[in-house]
Amino acid sequence: MTAAPTWEVFVLEYARAKDQPVDSLINGTHDDGLMDTPFAFVFARSGGRNVLVDTGFMREGIGAEMSERFNVPEWISPLRLLAELGVAPEDVTDIVLSHAHFDHMGSIHKFPRARLYIQKSELLSWHEAMALPRQFGYLTAIINPDDLRSMFDASVEHRVTLLDGDRDNLLPGLHARFGPGHTIGQQFVVLETARGNVVVSGDCVYGARNLTGHSHDGVYVPLNNAIGSVWDQLRTMDRINDAIQGDLGRLIILHDVERWKDMPVQAEVEGFKIVRAA
C-alpha cells in the first residue's frame, strides 16, 4: 500500500479592506465597530500538482472599480505572491473555486493552463441572477461580470469541471465539500496534510466566532453577508466543524481578521503575509 498523498499548504494574503464594520460580515456584532479585513487565497502542492483554492483579484478593469467600491485600498498582485513561492502562472495546474465573488475568482484569466473546478449551482445561479431585472442587483453586487466571461472562455477551452455536490479525491487527498449559504453553490475544501486534515473555509465562515458562538457557547452565528438561507449557512458551519473535529487550528479562514496568527510566516512581501498552514 502506498502512503496517502499529503499537501503542503500556504495562505497568501493579498489585500485588505479598511474600516469595514464587523457587523457587515458577522451577525450580532453591531457594537463591535470597524476592522481591517484581510483577503487571502491558498496555494497547495503535492505530487507535481500546483493548486490554488481561489485566486484573489486583479486590480484592473472592473476589478479595480470594485476594489474602490468596497474600500480595499491595500493590494498586491496574487501573481507577485506566487512568484515569491517560485510558482509561475503557467505552473498552476488546478484551481478550486469556493465561489464566484470577485475577490475569490478575479484572477482566473491569469492562469492559462489551469483546470477550474466550481459547483455547477454556483456558476449557473450567477448567470441566472445576472439576467434578472436591475432591481435584483443586490444579489450580484459582489460579482464581476468579466469573471463570468472568463469562466465561459475557459469552458470553451474545456478547462472547467462543474461539480454537483461533494467530491472525494477531486485530486488525490483533496476533497470538495458542498457548503451553500454564503452563496447558492459555495464549497469548502478539505486537504490531507502531514498534520492531518486542513479545511479551507471559502466564505462559509468569516471569523472563529461563527463557529464558537459570541460567548463561546458553541451556538453558530450566521453571516451578515450572504444570499442563501441561515439554515444552509448553519448546516454548512456544522459540516465544517465536523471536518475540523472542533479544532480551529485546522481551519483556514480566508478573511481571518487575526491574520492566521498561529501559523508560521513563510515570507512577507510589502506587508502582506504568506503563512504556512501545513
Q: Show the cell assigned to 174.
A: 483533496
Task: Say how far apart CA 260 and CA 276 lie, in whole Å.
Answer: 9
Report, in Å, the least distance between residue 56 CB and Zn ion.
12
**Smallest separation (angstroms) from Zn ion to the CB of 40:** 12
The C-alpha cell of 220 is what?
453558530
- Residue 104: Cβ within 10 Å count: 26
Q: Strand 167-171 relative to strand 174-178: parallel, antiparallel, unpaired? A: antiparallel
Stretch that binds Zn ion, among 54-62, 112-120, 166-174, 196-204 (CB under 5 A): 196-204
Q: How far apart are CB 199 and Zn ion at their closest, in Å?
A: 17
Q: How far is residue 51's CA from residue 66's CA, in Å, rounded to a whole number?
A: 26
Grouping H, G, I as helix, E, B as strand and the rest as coil, residue 66 is helix
Left, alpha or beta for 14 (phi > 0: left; psi -120 to 50: alpha)? alpha
Rounded to whole angstroms, the Cα distance separating 160 from 13 reads 26
| Closer to Zn ion by Cβ: residue 46 or 187 | 187
* Closer residue to Zn ion, CB minimum distance, 101 or 177: 101
Nearer to Zn ion, 101 or 109 (CB): 101
Segment (H or E) for 74: strand 74-75
Smallest distance, Zn ion to C-beta of residue 127, A: 17
**Number of residues lying near Zn ion (CB under 5 A):** 2
Cell of 102: 470577485
Of 106 and 173, which has the nearer Cβ to Zn ion? 106
Dist. CA 154–CA 119, nearest whole Å: 15
The least CB distance from residue 18 to Zn ion, in Å, is: 18
Cβ proximity to Zn ion, 203 vs 232, nearer residue: 203
Burial (0-12, 13-18, 19+ Cβ within 10 Å), 120: middle
Q: Which of residues 27-56 bind Zn ion (CB under 5 A)?
A: none
Which CB, 171 or 204, lies closer to Zn ion? 204
203 binds Zn ion (CB under 5 A): yes
Nearer to Zn ion, 212 or 225 (CB): 225
The pattern of x and - marking residues 90 through 109 that bind Zn ion according to CB under 5 A reads -----------x--------
Under the criterion CB under 5 A, does residue 255 sit at the interface with Zn ion? no
- Cβ 203 to Zn ion, closest distance in Å? 4
Least distance to Zn ion, CB of residue 253, Å: 12
Where do we find the cell 462543474?
162
Q: For binding to Zn ion (CB under 5 A), which residues are involved? A: 101, 203
